[in-house]
């Protein structure tokens, strides 16, 4: 599944094209793309038509498009002014894509929803949600206040987050991320450190790829109990998590196939920079020992048995 870098690449690509744009029309072609929306496809189309997109925002792996509070020319009694701020919540799932296209572009393969938008500077565009495996979805979701009054996520200064993502912790690149709280959660658990990194209620945005990469960089075995790590090792691990996420962002994320692409359909190339993930059977870039892969929580862990010993 796409992790923080891949979702941030999509957010950053959408931002200049959709921020300030008005939604002229919505075509929800496949109801499977709206499984997390509380209403019908017709409700989704009607409630979004005429709305203006205020920003693009992301927390961890979650992406949303905050909307202006009113629909121009529509009385409040007919839905012109929602009772609370709303956003288009975007769940990319395993293969979801948000693509920018010209207004007359032909339908994409696996296209599920198409938005016709009009931007004050860029003119008319189409925003396409395509999803091969149909595990992703879109929804109109109310925005709720953040408990710490800090911005909800990257790309938007408003202290609001979609209700569907309110339980998700901040990610390590968020200025409001609480390092002290992370240390406390790590030191209080006997769970494997990799399991902690994958727990989106503790720290968001990290999946299997970047957990393996950060653990390799920090020389920490994935099965090490969290409470076995000293504060110094926890701080180093957190620093390595941030480092690998920033490096992956700079290279457009990790793409092993055509599913993880930016808004123009281009794949990232961080896969060429991986040190541990997917490299089992190859020599460790640091010590030369053969990297191994072991089963871990319905996934796999990749690590060096010499550099990363269980602590």
Average confidence score pLDDT of the chain: 91
Res 200: pLDDT: 95
How many Å apart are CA 311 and CA 299, to the nearest integer? 22
Which is more confident, 269 or 8?
8
Q: Are residues 187 and 157 in the same domain?
A: no
Model confidence pLDDT, tens digit, residues 279-293: 999 999 999 999 999
Q: Are residues 92 and 15 in the same domain?
A: yes
Size (the chain), residues:
311
Nearest CA to 247 out of 276, 224, 268 is that of 268
Position 259 pLDDT exceeds 60: no
> What's 252's domain CATH number?
1.10.8.50
Boundaries of domain holding 266: 179-303
Q: Are 160 and 152 in contact (CB under 8 A)?
A: yes
Reported pTM: 0.90
Q: Are residues 107 and 26 in the same domain?
A: yes
Nearest CA to 136 out of 249, 298, 1 is that of 1
Model confidence pLDDT, tens digit, residues 55-79: 999 999 999 999 998 665 555 555 5
Q: Are 51 and 71 in contact (CB under 8 A)?
A: yes
110 is in an annotated binding site: yes
Q: Are residues 139 and 203 in the same domain?
A: no
Domain total in the chain: 2
Q: Are residues 152 and 234 in the same domain?
A: no
Q: Are residues 153 and 190 in the same domain?
A: no
Nearest CA to 262 out of 13, 5, 53, 3 is that of 13
Which active-site residues does the annotation give? 2-3, 61, 299
The verdict on residue 76 lying in a domain is yes
Confidence of residue 42 (pLDDT cuts 50, 70, 90): very high
Res 268: pLDDT: 53
Which is more confident, 79 or 277?
277
- Choosing from 140, 165, 190, the residue where a domain stops is 165
């000293």: which residue's tokens? 230
Candidate from 34-38, 42-46, 117-121, 246-250 with smallest mean pLDDT: 246-250
Q: Which two tokens stand for residue 181?
A: 């709280």
Res 310: pLDDT: 83
Res 195: pLDDT: 96
């Amino acid at each position: 599944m796409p992790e923080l870098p891949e979702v941030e690449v999509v957010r950053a690509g959408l931002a200049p094209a959709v921020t300030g744009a008005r939604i002229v029309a919505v075509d929800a072609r496949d109801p499977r793309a709206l499984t997390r929306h509380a209403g019908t496809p017709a409700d989704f189309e009607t409630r979004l038509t005429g709305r203006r997109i205020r920003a693009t925002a992301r927390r961890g792996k979650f992406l949303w498009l905050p909307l202006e509070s009113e629909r121009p020319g529509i009385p409040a009694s007919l839905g012109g002014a929602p009772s609370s701020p709303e956003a288009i919540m975007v769940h990319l799932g395993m293969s979801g894509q948000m693509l920018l296209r010209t207004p007359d572009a032909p339908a994409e393969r696996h296209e599920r929803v198409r938005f016709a938008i009009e931007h004050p500077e860029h003119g008319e565009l189409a925003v396409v949600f395509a999803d091969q495996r149909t595990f992703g979805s879109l929804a109109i979701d109310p925005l709720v206040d953040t408990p710490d009054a800090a911005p909800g996520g990257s790309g938007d200064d408003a202290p609001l987050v979609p209700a569907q993502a309110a339980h998700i912790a901040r990610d390590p690149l968020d200025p409001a991320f609480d390092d002290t709280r992370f240390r406390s959660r790590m030191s209080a658990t006997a769970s494997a450190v990799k399991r902690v990194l994958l727990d989106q209620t503790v720290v968001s945005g990290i999946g299997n790829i970047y957990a393996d990469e950060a653990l390799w960089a920090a020389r920490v075995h994935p099965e090490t109990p969290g409470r076995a790590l000293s504060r110094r090792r926890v701080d180093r691990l957190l620093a390595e998590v941030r480092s690998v996420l920033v490096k992956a962002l700079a290279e457009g994320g990790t793409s092993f196939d055509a599913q993880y692409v930016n808004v123009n359909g281009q794949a990232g190339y961080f896969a060429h920079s991986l040190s541990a993930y997917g490299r089992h059977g190859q020599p460790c870039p640091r010590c030369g020992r053969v990297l191994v892969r072991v089963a871990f929580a319905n996934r796999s862990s990749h690590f060096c048995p010499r550099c990363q010993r269980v602590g």
